[in-house]
Amino acid sequence: MTRVKKETKNEVRKPKKRLKQIQAIKGMNDILPTDQLVWDYVLDHARKLCTELGFGRISTPILEKTELFQRGVGNITDIVEKEMFSFETKGGDDVSMRPEGTAGVVRAYVENGMSKWPQPVKLFYEGPMFRYEKPQAGRYRQFYQFGFEIIGDNCPAIDAQVIYLAWKILQKSEINDTIIQLNSIGCSECRLAYKKMLVDYYEMKINKLCHDCKRRLDENPLRLLDCKEEKCTQVSFSAPQIIDHLCEPCHDHFKNVLEFLDELEIPYVLNSNLVRGLDYYTQTVFEIWECDSEGNQNSLGGGGRYDNMIKLMGGEDAPAIGFSFGIERVVESIQRKGIKINKRIKKDVFLVQLGNLARKKILRIFDKLIDCDIAVGESLGRGSIKSQLRLANKTNSKLALIVGQKEALDDTVIIRDMESGMQEVVTLQDIVEEVQKRLRN
């Protein structure tokens, strides 16, 4: 027989070891319900404006073949070189988590034969993107973008429409202190001569360049204009400006874009160093910058024309232009400004109960009201009728349906008008019809 050792009074039980808390991956954040209200505020405006202007929503996979971004975004870009989350699948495929949205949309356009659709094709998207970079305010490893693309039209008015839509979404979100930074980087023909001129200029300043720019000088000289290192920024101030070396078609295209923007009275400035960080851009490029009271500037989003990308992805040659903004950056701007979001929770009916039998009756009413598309609130875990009625007030409910112990036994319901406080007893059988009648009135 096995003896169980008894605990003596002097023996102290060792406390159980607490499991280590698991935290979110660095640069990948939770979006809490309080923040979701602001997110919905921004996205509702963006979706509504896009839909009104004839854009259709598209969703593309988070995982794509790595080759898609190498070919579309460009091998010699920070995104492809340093920032992509790439790995090999169990089947041996090289895949990457999408670092931006345009390449996937273009792939979908080509793969699904959208070139046969009425042109231009207008598409908008939203969702998470992934880049491995140092997390900081407005810049995360998992971040969200809202973007839109117009494929199949090279008219300068289309450029102006995309810029207008981007600007208008921010205006509707009450971000008014913005300025459009605008440039044209020309086409492959006029860029050829300009690149040579740029290389000649930077070769004379090579000792003043950062390590990355020395490498870019041979591989992608346009990117030198985009470098954020202070010493490289100083050198770029005196660099030749591409806008002075555009071919006649590119010059005329950009001139028309500016005239359309003037007609729309959209504020913009010409920024000769704006080239954007992706290889696919041609002609018009732009960013929307927010200016705070202290004069600091922050880019909320950007875009431009990419007339060669569809052909590069194996499709028929087609012009295109698009824009995307970082949702976190826009949300943080709204929160920083203290803009009040007037989006209160509203319910048609709030269900109040007391006791288990009453809860059973309430659940039956709940099901019937939901089937009639009536917005219903409840707090099944609370026991106090008074506390439940307070919650009904907070949710701006028009009616409260009260089932206490007596009502549960009698198969009746007290219907209370939350504004006047008037109450009436209605049979359980007639309650849905009575609620519908009162809501109509």
- Lowest-confidence region among 111-120, 150-159, 294-303, 325-334: 294-303
Owner of token pair 């009162």: 438
383 against 81, higher pLDDT: 81
Angle, CA of 243, 197 and 78, to the nearest 5°: 80
Query: Rounded mean pLDDT of 49-64?
Result: 96
Q: How far is CA 18 from CA 11, 12, 24, 25, in A?
A: 21, 18, 19, 21
- The CATH label, of 3.30.930.10, 3.40.50.300, 3.30.70.3280, 3.90.1150.10, for the domain at 33-187+247-337 is 3.30.930.10
Q: What is the pLDDT, as a whole number, of residue 242?
A: 86
3 state DSSP class of 372:
coil
Per residue in 87-99, pLDDT (tens digit) is 999 999 999 999 9
Domain(s) of CATH 3.40.50.800: residues in the chain? 349-440
pLDDT in tens, 405-441: 899 999 999 999 998 999 999 999 999 999 999 998 8
Average pLDDT over residues 180-200: 88
Task: Encode pLDDT of 227-245 as tens digits.
Answer: 778 888 888 888 888 888 8
Tens digits of residue pLDDT in 296-317: 678 899 999 999 999 999 999 9
Q: Mark out the alpha helices in 143-247 (DSSP H runs).
A: 156-172, 188-203, 211-219, 230-236
Q: Taking the CA atoms of the chain, what radius of gyration do you get in angstroms?
A: 30
Answer yes or no: is pLDDT of 108 > 70: yes
pLDDT of residue 109: 97
| Mean per-residue pLDDT over the chain, rounded | 88
The helix (run of H) or strand (run of E) holding residue 284 is: strand 282-291
Structure tokens at 70: 């190498």
Q: Tens digits of per-residue pLDDT, 134-178?
A: 887 778 999 999 999 999 999 999 999 999 999 999 999 989 889
Domain with CATH 3.30.930.10 in the chain: 33-187+247-337
pLDDT at residue 2, rounded to an integer: 52
**pLDDT (0 to 100) of residue 128:** 96
Classified by CATH at the fold level, domain 349-440 comes out as Rossmann fold (3.40.50)
How many Cα atoms sit within 13 Å of 272 on the Cβ side? 14
Q: Is residue 6 over pLDDT 60?
A: no
Summarize the confidence of residues 45-74 as an average pLDDT.
Answer: 93
